Amino acid sequence: MPVRPPFSPRNLLLFAFAVVFLLAFLQVGLISIAFDKLGLSPSSAFLLLMTSLGGSMINMPLFSIRAEHPPEVPPQLNPFLQVRLPPFTGRTLVAVNVGGGLIPIVFSLYLMAHHPLPLLQVVLGVAAIATISHVMSRPIAGLGIGMPVFVAPISAALVAVLLNPAQSAPLAYICGTLGVLIGADILRLKDIRHLGTPLASIGGAGTFDGIFITGIVAVLLT
């Protein structure tokens, strides 16, 4: 009598679907909690989320620079995790991602205008996270700039609580998003020409990239 496998392909598929659904539900729930702590209504939070999702697919070109030919990708990198990009032609197009760059900047300005945040605290917080992001980020040949995911949000939450416990949530978002944009993206532009990548996107290639995750997690930790 043949032995049945403990998990049939159909059961495995259903299990995988259930896991993905639960993770998505948890992620949306956490995002809703974070936006609520920032004072957004459910409709405003949904609009911001959908706008960020749509904007993640848009990279607005800024300028192009002459770059070196890409070296071989180190073998320890997983080829299945690499983003498919246009062929490298000797120049790198520097762009800003709408969902991961422009929208977090605009929303940070909105938070500054609607919360009693002293400008000095904002400047000190952003400078601290920018410094940490610059030190912890590293250029990755052929791909772009990378850094550990949770370094910036944890640092932003701690800095915000120390600087202004009463307004730690909006301050954490501002410090986290603007700090990473400045420290890991803008201050790393000088390294772009040595990476051999056809596109360098300020703010990342997706809305749930480092900038978005940093802002949400930083708020949740406050």
Q: Kindly report, residue by residue over 25-48, the tens digit of the pLDDT.
A: 455 666 777 778 888 887 887 788
What is the pLDDT confidence band of residue 214, given thresholds at 50, 70 and 90? confident
Mean pLDDT over all residues of the chain? 76
pLDDT exceeds 80 at position 195: no
Instruction: Give φ, ψ of 85 to 5 degrees.
Output: -120, 165
Structure confidence at residue 13 (pLDDT)? 56
Every domain of the chain and the residues it spans: 9-74+89-221
| CB-count exposure of residue 129 (10 Å: 0-12, 13-18, 19+) | buried
pLDDT exceeds 60 at position 217: yes
Interatomic CA distance for residues 41 and 106, integer angstroms:
17
pLDDT exceeds 50 at position 155: yes
Dmax over CA atoms of the chain, in Å, equals 76
pLDDT exceeds 70 at position 70: no
**Contact assessment for residue 122 and residue 163, using Cβ atoms and an 8 Å cutoff:** no
SS3 57: coil
pLDDT exceeds 60 at position 61: yes
Instruction: Point out which residues pair with 94 in neighbouring strands.
Output: 63, 200
* More confident position, 191 or 12: 191
Structure confidence at residue 33 (pLDDT)? 77
* More confident position, 209 or 197: 197
Structure confidence at residue 135 (pLDDT)? 92
* More confident position, 33 or 151: 151
Q: Which single residue is written with the structure tokens 């940093």? A: 214
Q: For a pLDDT cut of 70, what percent of the chain falls above it?
A: 71
Interatomic CA distance for residues 174 and 67, integer angstroms:
32
Q: Average the pLDDT over 134-145 and give the result.
A: 76
Structure confidence at residue 175 (pLDDT)? 93
**Contact assessment for residue 201 and residue 86, using Cβ atoms and an 8 Å cutoff:** no
Provide the pairing of β-strand 91-97 with 138-140: unpaired
Q: What is the 3-state secondary structure (H, E, C) of 138-205?
A: EEECCCEEECCCCHHHHHHHHHHHHHCHHHHHHHHHHHHHHHHHHHHHHHHHHHHCCCCCCEEEECCC
The upper half-sphere exposure of residue 30, i.e. CA atoms within 13 Å in the direction of its Cβ, equals 16
* More confident position, 23 or 115: 115
Q: Which single residue is written with the structure tokens 């949770």? A: 150
Provide the 10 A C-beta neighbour count for residue 166: 9
Element at 87 (helix H, strand E)? none
